[in-house]
Amino acid sequence: MSEERLEALREGLRQQGIEAFLVPRTDEYQNESIPPGEERLSWVTGFTGSAGMAVIGLKAAALFVDGRYTLQGQQQLGDRPIALENLDSDGIANWICDQLHEGQTLGYDPRLHTEPGLALLQGYLAERSITLRPLEENPIDAIWTDRPAAPSGTARPHPFAFNGEHSRDKRLRIAAQLTEKCVDALWLPSPENCAWLFNIRGEDIPHLPVALANAVLYRDGSATLYLSAEAVGEGLLEHLDREVTVVSDKRLLLSDLRRRHIRKIWVDPQISNCWILQQLRALDIQLVQERDPVSGAKACKNAVELAGARSAHERDGAALCEFLAALPEAVDTGLDELSAVKLLYSKRAAREGFRGNSFDTISGYGPNGAIVHYRVSPESSLPMKPEGIYLCDSGAQYPDGTTDVTRTLALGDFPAPAREHFTRVLKGHIAIATLRFPQGTCGEQIDAIARRSLWEAGLDYAHGTGHGVGSYLSVHEGPQRIGKVATGVALQPGMILSNEPGFYLTGQYGIRIENLVYVKESGEYPGFLEFETLTLVPIDRVLIDTDLLATRERDWLNRYHQRVRQVITPLVDQHTANWLRAATEPL
C-alpha cells in the first residue's frame, strides 16, 4: 500500500511540475496534536510520532526524525522504500540538494509551514538555484480518497471558577500591548491561544480540549473569532460578550481586515503559517513580527489556575497510586502493555472531573521502554512479567488542570546497571526540583544541571528536560521549556513545566522520572525563583542506589514521599493505602 501511495504522490508531483515535496507533521494551525484528517505524514510513511518531516522525490524519499523517534521510525518504516535520516535543518537541506539539481523545484504547502521553519532550507536551495515553490493544492489531499472529515465539535465556555480571569479583562490586558506597539490588531492563529483568551474549550483535537479557531484582537479590546458554525453551541454567544464577533467562514478574514482598515498587524511568525503572511502582505498590511503576547500571558498561571493544578494533581496522583498498587497482581495474572494502558485509564476515569488522557499513554516494558515516545499497539504490545523494568508516561485532562507524570518501575529482578542509571536520573531530577535561580534565567541555562550526574558517567538523553504545560490545555505548551536549544524565554512565576530527565539503553530498558513543577518566587532570597512540585506519586525506591545519593538528595526524596503519603492516603482505598505506606518508607 505504501509503495502505491508513493507512486500516486509522485504522479501528482509530475502533474504540478515539481521534483520533490515536503511533508511535515502539522496542520494549518501549527498544532502538535492534529486531527486524523491532517495526518499526512503518517498516511504516506506509516510514521506516527509527534514530530517529523518527509521529503518525497520523484526517485527517492526520506523521513527525518529526531533522537526521540529513531527506534520508532526504524520500526514503522519497515521495508518501505523510504530512508530514515536525522531531523535537523542542515540534514534536510543537504539531502534535498543531493537529490535535486539546478533549475529543479521543491514544492510545499504554505498552510503547513512557517517562514522561520523554511528560512534555512530556502537559503541552501537558493545557493544551488533550486526553486522552493508554494503550491495551491496539496498533492496528498488529491489522492487521499478516504481522508477523515474535518472535526466539527462544539465549543463551550470554560468557567471562571477554573480560569480565574474574565475574557474581557484578558483582552484589554493584551490590547494594551497593541497600543504600546502602535499596531491596529493582533493575529491569533493558535486554537490554544484562542481558547485561553476567550475562555472556551472544545473537542476538535485528540487529547487537546480546543476548538479549531483563529481570531483577530483589535486595539480597543474587541475581537473577531473565526469558528465553524457547528462549533457554536448553546451558551457560547452569551458567554462571549458583545465585543466579540463570531464569524463562521474564515475565508472572510481578509475582507474583514480591509473593511476595518487594518494597516499594521502583530503576527508571530513562529506559529503563523506562510500562507496567511503571504495574503496579509498582498493587502499591503505591515507585519510586526514578534512572539505572540498571548502565549506568554497564558504560560503564567494565576492563583485560581495554580490552585486547580494542585487539586487536579491530587486526584490524578490517587488514580496513579491505585494503578501502581494493582500492578503487581495484574502482572502475575497476565498483563501486557496495552492492557496496562486500559487499567490506568479505568483508574483515572473514576476520578472527579476526568475528561480524558492528555496524550497517548507510553506503556513500555523492557526494550519498548527504550523507545522514548513509544506508542503501544496490539501488534507491539509485550506481555509483562514479574521481572525487568517498566516505563509508564501518562497524563490526564481535568477542567482544573492538565497532568503529565512518568514513573519507571522494577517489576522484579532487573539488569544490574539499571540501578546506577536510575539513580543518576533521579539525581538530575532532584537537582531541578531543588534549584534556586535568579529572575531572568532561561530554561536552556539550567538544562545541564539535570544532566550533570549522567554526563559524569558518559551518559545523556536525546530529549529536553522540561516542557511547558497548560491549564486544561496542551500538555506541551510554549514558550517555556528546559532543554539544550536556546529559547530566550525567561522562566516566570506561575509557569508550569515538566521535570523529566531520562536514560535509554537500546534493546533493554528506558528510565524517565517526570513530575510537573511550577515556578514561584523564593521566600528566602528576593530576586530569586524556585520550583514547587505538583505531582504526587511515589518514586520507585527499589531502583535506587542509596550510596550514590548525597544526604540532601536523600532528605528531599524522604520529604517528598512523606508529602505524597499524607496527601494521597485519604483519597484511596485500603489496599492502595497499604501499598503507599510501603512505597513511601524513608530511605
CATH number, position 521 = 3.90.230.10
Helix (H) or strand (E) holding 519: strand 515-521
Domain boundary among 91, 117, 143: 143
State whether 134 and 166 are in the same domain: no
Overall average pLDDT of the 333-337 stretch = 96
State whether 207 and 137 are in the same domain: no
Helix axes 115-127, 274-282, angle to 10 degrees: 90
Residue 480: inside a domain: yes
Structural domain count of the chain: 3
Q: What is the structure's pLDDT at 86?
A: 82
Residue among 9, 119, 120 at smallest CA distance from 55: 9
Cis peptide preceding 383, ω within 30 of 0: no
Residue 148: inside a domain: no
Q: What is the structure's pLDDT at 21?
A: 95
Q: What is the structure's pLDDT at 235?
A: 86
Overall average pLDDT of the 55-75 stretch = 86
State whether 283 and 312 are in the same domain: no
Residue 238: inside a domain: yes
Q: How far apart are CA 496 and CA 498, in angstroms?
A: 7
**pLDDT tens figures, 73-98:** 888 888 788 888 888 767 888 899 89
Q: Average per-residue pLDDT in the chain?
A: 95
Residue 382 CA neighbour count, 13 Å, CB half:
19
Q: How far apart are CA 81 and CA 534, in angstroms?
A: 46
State whether 330 and 279 are in the same domain: no
Q: Is the pLDDT of residue 11 over 80?
A: yes
State whether 431 and 573 are in the same domain: yes
Grid coordinates representing 52 are 517529523
Overall average pLDDT of the 106-111 stretch = 96
Give the per-residue SS3 of 349-378: HCCCCCCCECCCCEEEEHHHHHCCCCCCCC
Residue 430: inside a domain: yes
Residue 105: inside a domain: yes
State whether 122 and 202 are in the same domain: no
Residue 234: inside a domain: yes
State whether 348 and 321 are in the same domain: yes
Domain boundary among 92, 112, 143: 143
Write out the residue range of the structural domain in which residue 364 sits.
Answer: 303-583
Residue 151: inside a domain: no
Q: How far apart are CA 318 and CA 398, in angstroms?
A: 14
Let me know if 164 is exposed, middle or buried by CB neighbors in 10 A (0-12, 13-18, 19+): middle
Q: What is the structure's pLDDT at 392?
A: 98
Q: Is the pLDDT of residue 4 over 60?
A: yes
State whether 201 and 90 are in the same domain: no
CB count within 10 Å of CB 290 equals 14
Q: What is the structure's pLDDT at 146?
A: 93
Overall average pLDDT of the 357-383 stretch = 94
Q: What is the structure's pLDDT at 74?
A: 83
Residue 150: inside a domain: no
CATH of the domain at 45: 3.40.350.10
State whether 21 and 85 are in the same domain: yes
**pLDDT tens figures, 160-191:** 999 999 999 999 999 999 999 999 999 999 99
CB distance 16 to 139 below 8 Å: yes
**pLDDT tens figures, 261-303:** 999 999 999 999 999 999 999 999 999 999 999 999 999 999 9
Helix axes 551-568, 303-332, angle to 10 degrees: 90
Q: Is 487 helix (H, G, I), strand (E, B) or coil?
A: coil
Grid coordinates representing 560 are 517528598
State whether 66 and 86 are in the same domain: yes
Q: What is the structure's pLDDT at 89?
A: 66
Which of 4-18, 75-89, 371-385, 448-462 is the most confident on average? 448-462
State whether 121 and 178 are in the same domain: no
**pLDDT tens figures, 313-327:** 999 999 999 999 999
* Percent of the chain predicted with pLDDT > 70: 100
Grid coordinates representing 145 are 480518497
State whether 160 and 266 are in the same domain: yes
Confidence of residue 9 (pLDDT cuts 50, 70, 90): very high
Q: How far apart are CA 249 and CA 173, in angstroms?
A: 27
CB distance 148 to 117 below 8 Å: no
Q: Is the pLDDT of residue 1 over 60?
A: no
Give the per-residue SS3 of 431-470: HHHCCEEECCCEHHHCHHHHHHHHHHCCCCCCCCCEEECC
Domain boundary among 282, 299, 316: 299
Overall average pLDDT of the 103-114 stretch = 96
Q: Is the pLDDT of residue 409 over 90?
A: yes
Grid coordinates representing 184 are 491596529
CB distance 532 to 450 below 8 Å: no
